[in-house]
């Protein structure tokens, strides 16, 4: 699209993801452009305004954020804040009359997710959630293999995502800002994969957790394993902040199997099936999901990942926490 037909995106929270992934992706999108920034850090506001040639009237702080309502260059507000701030800024963005794209996890509770959906419905604006893997060709191929029953019905899925977390003072270990530990942060990718591969929802959930460092993980989980019965599919998954290396899913079917490992990185995804490797060109996940969101706004087509998808994941994660705490099998 010519530049003046592209939708303007305002980024809220200029942390690691915004700086290293989303801003570069915005330079590659066909339908979006960076139009404004919202940041609490003066040095970042200065650096970004120079780097991306943004005039002072498109630079906001959290205090001046609501004035963005009058900024006609902004069509979409992209919330890239710590999880515990997603709800507040999504609701404020909707009240400012803008479409909202919100990073995963959508929020830190299902109650918040419902407030976000309501606010966007009331404002008649779209709400999209940043599940980038749904726009990635290896994942799309796996969804096709599942839907076409190439290897027959899926009977079991294993998978997980985790990493060894560093700095003990970061917001990811703070319950109020993170909502939970590795499940909210990265385990959610494995949970999502089970849902988009099977098209089914969990009926029964069990979970166990281990904690080897109760000081560092005073507020959130350290390692969590869970199972989900989804129709006749048995899923067994793990997430952790204690070790590196787990980053995959595999689906076992009547007549074969398929999966990705690594599955959830920004690039370098590798897949295999009983018929051979699953190979595609690597794409920019963030550019792909933003272009899809812009296309839905412009053409009125259906969102692949609406707020309802994020809400459902929060309901499932709440059930996983309940199962881990109680030791019981929980119906979400």
Q: Which stretch binds ligand NDP (CB under 6 A): 78-86, 251-259, 294-302, 324-332?
A: 78-86
Q: Which of 33, 104, 196, 252 is catalytic?
A: 104
Q: Is residue 189 annotated as a catalytic residue, yes or no?
A: yes
Q: Which stretch binds ligand NDP (CB under 6 A): 7-15, 24-32, 143-151, 214-222?
A: 7-15
Pick 103 or 284: Cβ nearer ligand NDP: 103
Query: Quick one: which of 100, 130, 118 has its CA closest to 17?
Result: 130
Query: Mapping DSSP to helix (H, G, I), strand (E, B) and coil, where does residue 122 land?
Result: helix
By CB under 6 A, residue 80 contacts ligand NDP: yes
Kindly state the smallest distance separating residue 98's Cβ from ligand NDP, in Å.
18
Instruction: List the Cα angle 13/17/22 in 5-degree steps.
Output: 90
Contact 128, 296 (CB under 8 A): yes
Q: Which of 60, 131, 189, 196 is catalytic?
A: 189
Q: Please, which of residues 8-27 interact with ligand NDP by CB under 6 A? A: 13-18
Give the whole-angstrom CA distance, residue 223 versus residue 153.
30
Residue number closest to ligand NDP, CB atom? 15
Give the whole-angstrom CA distance, residue 108 versus residue 313.
11
Among 33, 92, 104, 292, binds ligand NDP (CB under 6 A): 104
Among 103, 136, 284, 313, binds ligand NDP (CB under 6 A): 103
By CB under 6 A, residue 247 contacts ligand NDP: no
Phi, psi of 167 (to 5 degrees): -25, 110
Q: Which stretch binds ligand NDP (CB under 6 A): 38-46, 115-123, 305-313, 315-323?
A: 38-46
Name the DSSP class of 270. Answer: -
Q: H-helix or E-strand containing 146?
A: helix 137-147
Maximum Cα–Cα distance across the chain: 60
Give the whole-angstrom CA distance, residue 15 versus residue 8.
20
Q: Which stretch binds ligand NDP (CB under 6 A): 33-41, 138-146, 249-257, 324-332?
A: 33-41
Query: Quick one: which of 77, 132, 130, 135 has its CA closest to 104?
Result: 130
Among 9, 32, 39, 317, binds ligand NDP (CB under 6 A): 39
Chain-centroid distance of CA 143 in Å reads 18
Which distant-in-sequence residues (6+ apart) come within 8 Å of 317 by Cβ? Answer: 105, 180, 183, 184, 188, 191
Q: Please, which of residues 83-102 interact with ligand NDP by CB under 6 A? A: 83
Size of the site for ligand NDP (CB under 6 A): 21
By CB under 6 A, residue 262 contacts ligand NDP: no
Among 82, 179, 271, 307, binds ligand NDP (CB under 6 A): 82
- Give the other-Cβ count within 10 Å of 162's Cβ: 25
Phi-psi region of 176 (alpha: psi -120 to 50; beta: other; left: phi over 0): alpha
Pick 103 or 291: Cβ nearer ligand NDP: 103
By CB under 6 A, residue 292 contacts ligand NDP: no
By CB under 6 A, residue 278 contacts ligand NDP: no
By CB under 6 A, residue 163 contacts ligand NDP: no
Contact 110, 314 (CB under 8 A): yes
The catalytic site residues sit at: 104, 189
- For ligand NDP, the binding residues (CB under 6 A) are 13-18, 39-41, 44, 80-83, 103-104, 130, 132, 171, 177, 185
């Amino acid at each position: 699209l010519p530049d003046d037909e592209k939708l303007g995106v305002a980024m809220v929270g200029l942390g690691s993801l915004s700086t290293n992934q989303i801003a570069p992706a915005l330079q590659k999108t066909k339908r979006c452009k960076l139009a404004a920034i919202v940041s609490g850090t003066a040095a970042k506001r200065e650096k970004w305004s120079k780097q991306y040639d943004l005039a002072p009237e498109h630079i906001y702080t959290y205090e001046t954020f609501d004035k963005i309502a009058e900024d006609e260059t902004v069509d979409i507000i992209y919330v890239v804040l710590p999880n515990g701030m997603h709800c507040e800024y999504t609701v404020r963005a909707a009240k400012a009359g803008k479409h909202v794209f919100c990073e995963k996890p959508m929020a830190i509770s299902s109650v918040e997710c419902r407030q976000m959906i309501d606010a966007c419905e009331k404002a008649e604006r779209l709400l999209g959630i940043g599940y980038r893997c749904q726009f990635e060709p290896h994942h799309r191929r796996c969804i096709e293999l599942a839907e076409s029953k190439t290897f027959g019905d899926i009977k079991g899925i294993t998978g997980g995502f985790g990493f060894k977390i560093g700095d003990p003072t970061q917001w990811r270990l703070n319950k109020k800002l993170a909502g939970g530990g590795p499940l909210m942060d990265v385990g959610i990718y494995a949970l999502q994969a089970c849902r988009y591969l099977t098209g089914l929802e969990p009926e029964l959930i069990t979970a166990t957790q281990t904690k080897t460092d109760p000081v560092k993980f005073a507020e959130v989980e350290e390692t969590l394993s869970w199972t989900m019965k989804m129709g006749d599919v048995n899923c067994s998954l793990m997430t952790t902040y204690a070790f590196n290396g787990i980053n995959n899913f595999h689906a076992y079917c009547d007549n074969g199997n398929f999966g990705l490992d690594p599955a959830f990185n920004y690039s370098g995804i590798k897949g295999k099936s009983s018929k051979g490797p699953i190979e595609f060109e690597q794409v920019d996940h963030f550019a792909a999901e933003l272009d899809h969101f812009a296309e839905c706004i412009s053409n009125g087509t259906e969102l692949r990942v609406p707020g309802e998808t994020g809400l459902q994941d929060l309901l499932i994660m709440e059930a996983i926490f309940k199962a881990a705490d109680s030791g019981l099998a929980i119906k979400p």
